């Protein structure tokens, strides 16, 4: 019985072995040529599916920056039989339609060849070393060596140089198989490519580019994207970035790069020798980037920008084209620190950033500078808020201390500065001195305080340091003081204490810092950190991450001092003799408290400013408007910006559809 079972198993095993041998003979000997041909003619390749960048939305979910689908042309090196010939054919098509493609080679595109970059990237040297070309060679020698290396002698010099440019860009891309030749390609070019016979390995894919819902809108806040630089690549290559990727370069696009960027997916496809897809294998889906929701409101931002542009135009009409060289405005929620609108003028169009860059980067108006956080302005008389707080807290003055203003400060025999236009204010206290902006009163306070003590209070109130808002390029400004001047190797004269007290000398501030100052005064001495990013929403899961808790700091300033300063700021706007009373006396939308300023220069028109809050009796919103070199009388226009924006904010916002024509104003 046992021998019988062994015999049966032996027969079964032999049968299986015979079948296996027969199958092997058929595959290798009989059908071997067929399967060998099939394996050579079919290639499995990994294709990247580009992810969509997250969108940027306003506080109400209205889109500000979106994505639009674009066509891209890629070269699959796995199946491309003649790389040079295919690249040449692609270049010919693109050139015929005047369509750009990627060419990163830092050498001019025609003879005589020269290097186009002063500092060549290290990737270029690596490229030459791998091809055994001297890294110290002239551009002419490099081109000659690369023509030989890539066997391009049969092509014209111009085409050979163009092919080399693509070859170098392929090297820079870091992709071993799929090279992104161009993005944002027209349907006409796609059609022309498909009609050419030399296009084996050329594939069309869909991708995304940035789309802006409004032109010239919030450009300094939103920012722009661009090709990744060599330095950025070194920093981000471990995060999966390629040398052909784009990254955020400025504004929210830069600050939120890590959350806005999605994760590319991929799929495996099988193609035959003709480049046709024969089958597709499962891969990994692309993941969307997260959406960023800002604190600004689209409508309020538009009104702020339009009104500010109108104010600049009005100031130019009043004081000449050389005046009103730039302007900025900030409106902030006092309780939270949320920026409700922030405008900088002149601005630029994000949609045409790269087309306009060569011209605008040379403009004397520096439109790419965000004056709200990077503009360095002398604060002028808005600084008297700081001086008043310091004087009251140090006991130099009280609410009832009076001073007789004769229009000229005569404490020093050899230096006797005046009030603005030598105005005589008579007997004033701190509230009426703020109301009328009496220089002489604050000269006296500044003399008794000394610049270093005044500087201590300025630093306490946030000057001389960044607010920490989520924008690159924010500056700290500077605070005038004897110590700081002497540490820098300069000389400080006693009379400079007077100038420092009225916002001149070395005092330099940003509009955002001034807004934070008046918000602190209005908020009972609580300083709140300004911010622009309200929340982040994951588009795949729908999960929303709110901004971390509001950051507040309570300053050690007495309520009595703050109330006295608030009384003075109220009188600036609401009582006869206030410096902007005439501009607000018929404004009945909401009560306003503010301090205006006029910062004079040795040459040129003065800069005009206004900082304040509203409602005066229950502050909700703080603001600052600045017109650089706005000139005499331009406070009419800064005041109009305030009224335009507050009219929207405190009215039926849905029905507010236009701003006042401030160009018709006269001071």
Residue pointed to by tokens 């002419």:
140
Give the number of domains in the chain: 2
Examine residue 6 and state whether it is found in any structural domain, yes or no.
no
Is 330 in the same domain as 267? no
Q: Which tokens go with 46?
A: 């990994």
Q: What distance in Å separates the CA atoms of residue 605 and residue 631, rounded to the nearest whole number?
A: 5
Examine residue 391 and state whether it is found in any structural domain, yes or no.
yes
Residue 595 — very low, low, confident or very high, per pLDDT cuts 50/70/90? very high
pLDDT at 398 over 90: yes
Examine residue 330 and state whether it is found in any structural domain, yes or no.
yes
pLDDT of residue 50: 79
pLDDT of residue 80: 87
Q: What is the pLDDT of residues 515-539, one digit of tens each?
A: 999 999 999 999 999 999 999 999 8
Please indicate, yes or no, whether the overall pTM of this predicted structure exceeds 0.85: no
pLDDT at 603 over 60: yes
Is 229 in the same domain as 328? no
Of 545, 582, 70, 651, nearest to 292 by C-alpha is 545
Of 394, 343, 648, nearest to 515 by C-alpha is 343
pLDDT of residue 38: 47
Q: Quickly count: other Cβ atoms within 10 Å of residue 532's Cβ.
A: 21
Q: Give Cβ neighbours of residue 291 (< 8 Å, ≥ 6 apart).
A: 54, 55, 56, 57, 536, 537, 539
| Helix or strand run (H / E) with residue 614 | strand 607-614
pLDDT at 78 over 70: yes
Q: What distance in Å separates the CA atoms of residue 87 and residue 98, rounded to the nearest whole number?
A: 16
pLDDT at 661 over 50: no
Residue 240 — very low, low, confident or very high, per pLDDT cuts 50/70/90? confident
Fill in the DSSP letter of residue 55. Answer: P
Residue 39 — very low, low, confident or very high, per pLDDT cuts 50/70/90? very low
Is 200 in the same domain as 303? no
Rounded average pLDDT over 347-364: 91
More confident residue, 651 or 15: 651
pLDDT at 293 over 70: yes
Examine residue 279 and state whether it is found in any structural domain, yes or no.
yes
Residue 234 — very low, low, confident or very high, per pLDDT cuts 50/70/90? confident
Highest mean pLDDT among 196-200, 248-252, 354-358: 248-252
Q: What is the pLDDT of residues 610-631, one digit of tens each?
A: 999 999 999 999 999 999 999 9
Examine residue 33 and state whether it is found in any structural domain, yes or no.
no
Confirm if 93 and 182 have CB atoms less than 8 A apart.
no
Of 251, 268, 294, which marks where a domain is finished? 294
Range in 106-110, 275-279, 596-600 the model is least confident about: 275-279
Confirm if 446 and 497 have CB atoms less than 8 A apart.
yes
Rounded average pLDDT over 272-282: 62
What does residue 598 show for φ and ψ, rounded to 5 degrees?
-135, 110
pLDDT of residue 196: 83
| Helix or strand run (H / E) with residue 91 | helix 83-96
Q: What is the pLDDT of residues 413-463, one digit of tens each?
A: 999 999 988 999 999 999 999 999 999 999 999 999 999 999 999 999 999
Is 642 in the same domain as 520? yes
Rounded average pLDDT over 167-189: 86
Of 499, 480, 491, 465, nearest to 602 by C-alpha is 499
Is 597 in the same domain as 536? yes
Is 303 in the same domain as 290? no
Q: What is the pLDDT of residues 307-342, one digit of tens each?
A: 999 999 999 999 999 999 999 999 999 999 999 999
What does residue 50 show for φ and ψ, rounded to 5 degrees?
-65, 140
Is 60 in the same domain as 182? yes
Is 253 in the same domain as 305? no
Is 456 in the same domain as 577? yes
Residue 30 — very low, low, confident or very high, per pLDDT cuts 50/70/90? low
pLDDT of residue 2: 53
Of 294, 310, 332, which marks where a domain is finished? 294
pLDDT of residue 195: 85
More confident residue, 227 or 146: 146
Of 276, 294, 312, which marks where a domain is finished? 294
At how many degrees (to 10) do helices 157-173 and 83-96 cross? 110
CATH number of domain containing 646:
3.40.710.10
Examine residue 478 and state whether it is found in any structural domain, yes or no.
yes
pLDDT at 244 over 80: no
Cα 564-568-571 angle, rounded to 5 deg: 140
pLDDT at 44 over 70: no
Is 222 in the same domain as 349? no
Furthest-apart CA atoms within the chain: distance in Å? 135
Q: Give Cβ neighbours of residue 265 (< 8 Å, ≥ 6 apart).
A: 48, 49, 51, 283, 284, 285, 286, 287
pLDDT of residue 664: 37
Range in 141-155, 255-269, 406-420 the model is least confident about: 255-269
Instruction: Tell me the average pLDDT of the chain.
Output: 89
**CA 367 to mean position of chain CA atoms:** 13
pLDDT at 643 over 50: yes
pLDDT at 47 over 70: no
pLDDT of residue 657: 42
Q: Which tokens go with 177?
A: 């198989």
pLDDT of residue 21: 58
Is 261 in the same domain as 339? no
Examine residue 4 and state whether it is found in any structural domain, yes or no.
no
Examine residue 174 and state whether it is found in any structural domain, yes or no.
yes
Is 276 in the same domain as 307? no
Domain containing 116 equals 45-294
CATH number of domain containing 194:
3.90.1310.10
First to last CA, the chain: 122
Residue pointed to by tokens 């010239």:
216
pLDDT of residue 443: 98
């Amino acid at each position: 019985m046992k021998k019988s079972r062994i015999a049966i198993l032996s027969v079964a095993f032999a049968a299986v072995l015979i079948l296996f041998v027969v199958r092997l003979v058929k595959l290798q000997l009989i059908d071997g040529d067929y399967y060998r041909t099939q394996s050579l003619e079919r290639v499995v390749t990994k294709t990247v599916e580009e992810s969509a960048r997250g969108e940027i939305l306003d506080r109400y979910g209205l889109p500000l920056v979106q994505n639009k689908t674009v066509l891209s042309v890629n070269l699959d090196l796995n199946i491309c039989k003649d790389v040079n010939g295919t690249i040449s054919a692609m270049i010919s098509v693109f050139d015929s339609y005047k369509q750009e493609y990627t060419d990163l080679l830092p050498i001019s595109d025609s003879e005589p060849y020269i290097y186009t970059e002063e500092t060549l990237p290290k990737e270029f040297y690596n490229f030459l070393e791998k091809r055994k070309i001297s890294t110290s060679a002239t551009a002419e020698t490099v081109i000659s060596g690369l023509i030989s290396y890539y066997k391009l002698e049969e092509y014209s010099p111009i085409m050979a140089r163009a092919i080399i440019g693509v070859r170098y860009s392929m090297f820079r891309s870091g992709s071993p198989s799929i090279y992104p030749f161009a993005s944002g390609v027209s349907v006409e070019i796609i059609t022309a490519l498909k009609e050419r016979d030399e296009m084996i390995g050329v594939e069309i894919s869909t991708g995304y580019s940035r789309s802006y819902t409004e032109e010239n809108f919030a450009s300094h806040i939103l920012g722009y994207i661009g090709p990744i630089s060599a330095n950025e690549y070194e920093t981000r290559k471990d995060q999966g970035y390629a040398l052909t990727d784009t990254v955020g370069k400025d504004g929210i696009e830069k600050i939120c790069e890590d959350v806005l960027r999605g994760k590319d997916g991929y799929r495996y496809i099988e193609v035959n020798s003709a480049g046709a897809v024969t089958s597709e294998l499962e891969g990994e889906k692309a993941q969307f980037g997260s959406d960023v929701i800002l604190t600004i409101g689209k409508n309020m931002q538009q009104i702020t920008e339009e009104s500010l542009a109108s104010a600049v135009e009005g100031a130019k009409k009043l004081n000449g084209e050389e005046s009103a060289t730039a302007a900025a405005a900030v409106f902030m929620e006092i309780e939270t620190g949320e920026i409700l609108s922030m405008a900088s003028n002149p601005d630029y169009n994000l949609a045409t950033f790269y087309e306009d860059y060569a011209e605008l980067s040379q403009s004397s108006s520096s439109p790419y500078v965000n004056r709200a956080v990077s503009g360095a302005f002398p604060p002028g008389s808005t600084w008297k808020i700081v001086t008043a707080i310091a004087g009251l807290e140090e006991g130099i003055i009280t609410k009832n201390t009076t001073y007789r203003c004769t229009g000229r400060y005569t404490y020093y025999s050899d230096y006797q500065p005046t009030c603005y236009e030598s105005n005589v204010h008579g007997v004033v206290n701190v509230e009426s001195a703020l109301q009328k902006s009496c220089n002489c009163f604050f000269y006296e306070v500044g003399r008794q305080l000394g610049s270093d003590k005044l500087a201590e209070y300025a630093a306490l109130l946030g000057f001389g340091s960044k607010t920490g808002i989520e924008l690159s390029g924010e500056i700290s400004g500077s605070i005038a003081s004897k110590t700081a001047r002497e540490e820098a190797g300069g000389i400080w004269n006693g009379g400079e204490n007077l100038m420092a007290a009225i916002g001149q000398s070395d005092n330099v501030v940003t509009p955002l810092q001034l807004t934070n100052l008046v918000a602190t005064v209005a908020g009972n001495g609580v300083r709140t950190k300004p911010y622009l990013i309200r929340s982040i929403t994951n588009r795949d899961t729908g999960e929303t991450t709110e901004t971390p808790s509001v950051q507040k700091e309570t300053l050690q300033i007495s309520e009595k001092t703050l109330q006295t300063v608030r009384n003075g700021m109220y009188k600036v706007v609401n009582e006869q003799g206030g410096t902007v009373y005439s501009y607000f006396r018929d404004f009945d939308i909401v009560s306003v408290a503010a301090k205006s300023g006029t910062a004079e220069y040795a040459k040129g028109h003065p800069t005009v400013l206004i900082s304040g809050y509203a409602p005066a009796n229950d502050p909700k919103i703080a603001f600052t408007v600045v017109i650089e070199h706005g000139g005499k009388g331009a406070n009419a226009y800064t005041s109009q910006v305030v009224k335009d924006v507050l009219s929207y904010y405190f009215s039926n916002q849905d029905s507010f559809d236009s701003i006042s024509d401030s160009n018709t104003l006269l001071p």
